[in-house]
Amino acid sequence: MFKRGKWLFLLVLGAFLGWSLSASAFQVELHGQFGTKNQTTNTLGMIDKGGKTNIPKVLHEGQRPAEGQHVLAPVDEIGKDDLDDTWGELQFRLWSVVSSDDGNVKGVWSMEVGTLRYGEKDEAGSLTFKNEGKDIEVREMYLDVQIPWIQSENRLIFGLQEVDINEWVLSEIGAGIRNYGSFTVGKTIVDYQIGWLREDDSINYRWDGSPYTNDSDFWYGKIDFELKEHFGVDKFQVGIFGIYNNDCTESADDRFKGQPYWVGLELDFQGFKGIIFDLDGIYLGGDADEVNGEARDDYDAWFLHATLGYQWTNQLKTSFTFWYASGDDNGEGDDYEAYRTVMTDTYGSVVLFEDATFDDGWYVSDNPYLDNDLGFIMYRFRVDYQATPKLALAAAVNYMQFDEDVEYVDRAGHKSSDDAIGWEVDLYLTYEIYKGLTSNIAFGYLFTDDGMDTYAKYVGEGDADDMYRFSFGLTYSF
């Protein structure tokens, strides 16, 4: 009798839920991205497993890192310590979208577990034996609403959301409020977004016990003009943007820690029988107050990226990329001239930036442009070939250097310096095994140059070993 009642209850419940969903005025979507990555590398000399790097500008023979400081050298072996290593990682994302039938209201909630390494030990105890980790995080959680009484698209987003202003300065998840929309002026489509992000919200106390706010806010705006209809091409988009950070963090004496701003111009073009052109120019200015523990007056830094490509056939594309992130040439000067980002993902090198495989965003977000005072310059030639609908191949050659020299001072006070990181060769393979299941293979080999040898001198090895990284990943998306 109990079994019959149970099945009858489940049948009625299923029929009720089915009727409710069919009669309701909303839609439910479920999406996911499950990724696993395994890799072998000796690049621990530049970026360790935790995604941290510490690259000082001036090195002195015999000098050792201060207590708590971890300086990595780009060599395969330091004494008898072999830095070659192999490890595996996981990253699982799952998100749901609930929206009204008319599209005027949408709610998004997503969670993520990752990026977690096999055997990693931290406060949560993740991926160790017994695995009692608590690493689930809220990735996105927002409400997206069309503003009433406005015919064109004009929406407000409240909550934890993805904000994409420019891939070279701000493209990440943040909590805040954003207004975005689009309208048409003649043949020109205009997209815009303005918003506010709260990075830090807390109260702190001075030495005398009096409280002060410890907030960090980002205000931003961007407008894009789609001009392709004017020129009869596939794409011709011009964008301008600005970001302002009002940062009160650690301002016990009522001074701002910093008030930097970014202004930029971007251009994205495709047309005229296969020509591809992408340009980004960004200026970083504003009050610095303090950078890396040193007193500074102002930011004064530049970033430039340009890619020129050609689509020879539907299968074959070639491209040449140049990008420049300015460095700081005077550690004791009033202005800080090294380019810094808000939060973004940097790609363009298998060895240094861990290209390909699934987008874990760990190393690249923590180390944009190597996250140092020296700046970064890269020249890159790449060939992409779509061999079959499921198989994509690519190869690239990079030449990379710092904007400012690495300096080494021996015991006699003699200085030597160089800015060359070296040449890198990268190979990529992407294959769709099943629908939604993609495999990624990437291999990079960096022939280190004199700038890396400078760091090797610091640990007494003389010449820096070449660096390599091989990674294999599987990603299931639905």
Residue with tokens 């070939």: 385
The C-alpha angle with vertex 367 and arms to 238 and 472, in degrees rounded to 5, equals 95
Q: Decide if 59 contacts 455 (C-beta within 8 A).
A: yes
The pLDDT mean for the chain works out to 81
- 419 and 401 in contact (C-beta within 8 Å)? yes
Interval 29-40: pLDDT, tens: 899 988 888 888
* Rounded Cα distance, 310 and 332, in Å: 45
Q: Which long-range contacts (CB under 8 A, 24 or more apart) does 227-231 make?
A: 227/187, 227/188, 228/271, 229/187, 229/188, 230/187, 230/188, 231/271
Q: Which two three-digit tokens encode residue 400? A: 């990379």
pLDDT recorded at residue 312: 95
pLDDT, one tens digit per residue, over 355-365 is 765 555 455 55
Measured CA to CA, the distance from residue 321 to residue 304 in angstroms comes to 11
Confidence of residue 118 (pLDDT cuts 50, 70, 90): confident
Q: Is it the case that residue 90 has pLDDT exceeding 50? A: yes
Predicted local confidence at residue 2, as pLDDT: 45
At 386, the pLDDT band (50, 70, 90 cuts) reads very high
The region of weakest confidence among 69-83, 241-255, 264-278, 418-432 is: 69-83
Write down the pTM of the prediction.
Answer: 0.85
H, E, C per residue of the chain? CHHHHHHHHHHHHHHHHHHHHHHCCEEEEEEEEEEEEEEEECHHHCCCCCCCCCCCCEEECCCCCCCCCCCCCCCCEECCEECCEEEEEEEEEEEEEEEECCCCEEEEEEEEEEEEECCCCCCCCCCCCCCCCCCCEEEEEEEEEECCCCCCCEEEEEEEEEEEEECCCEEEEEEEEEEEEEEEECCEEEEEEEEEEEEECCEEECCCCCEEECCEEEEEEEEEEECHHHHCCCEEEEEEEEEEEEECCCCCCCCCCEEEEEEEEEEEEEECCCEEEEEEEEEEEEEEEEECCEEEEEECEEEEEEEEEEECCCCEEEEEEEEEECCCCCCCCCEECCCCCCECCCCCCHHHHCCCCCCCCHHHHHCHHHHCCCCEEEEEEEEEEECCCCEEEEEEEEEEEEEEEEEEECCCCCEEEEEEEEEEEEEEEEEEEECCEEEEEEEEEEEECHHHHHHHHHCCCCCCCCEEEEEEEEEEEC
Choose the weakest-confidence range: 213-217, 233-237, 360-364, 403-407.
360-364
pLDDT category, 426, cuts 50, 70, 90? very high
Percent of the chain with pLDDT over 70: 74
Give dist(CA 106, CA 253) in Å, integer: 43
Rounded Cα distance between 193 and 182, Å, is 9
Tokens read off for 84: 């070659």
Tokens of 135: 């690493």
Conformational region of residue 306, where left means phi above 0, alpha means psi within -120 to 50, and beta covers everything else: beta
pLDDT, position 79:
43
The token duo for 159 is: 């909550």
Higher pLDDT, 255 or 267: 267
49-85 tens-digit pLDDT: 555 555 667 776 666 666 655 555 555 544 445 567 7
Instruction: Tell me how far CA of residue 309 lies from CA of 268, 356, 387, in angstroms.
Output: 12, 20, 19
Q: Per mean pLDDT, which of 6-20, 34-48, 118-132, 384-398 is the most reliable?
A: 384-398
* More confident of the two residues 199 and 393: 393
In the prediction, which pLDDT does 445 show? 93
pLDDT: is 391 or 454 the higher one? 391
Quote the pLDDT of residue 8. Answer: 59
One-letter amino acid identity for 187? K
Q: Which domains does the chain have, with CATH numbers?
A: 28-477 (2.40.160.100)
- pLDDT over 60 (residue 254): no
**pLDDT tens column, 306-344:** 999 999 999 999 999 999 999 888 766 678 888 988 888
User: Can you list the pairs that 120-129 forms with residues at least 24 positions away whose Cβ atoms lie under 8 Å?
Assistant: 127/90
Do residues 178 and 165 lie in contact, with contact meaning Cβ atoms separated by under 8 Å?
no
pLDDT of residue 1: 45
Mean pLDDT calculated for residue range 207-218: 76
pLDDT above 90 coverage of the chain, percent: 39
Tell whether the model's pLDDT for residue 216 goes beyond 50.
Answer: yes
Residues in the chain: 478
Place of tokens 């198989």: 391
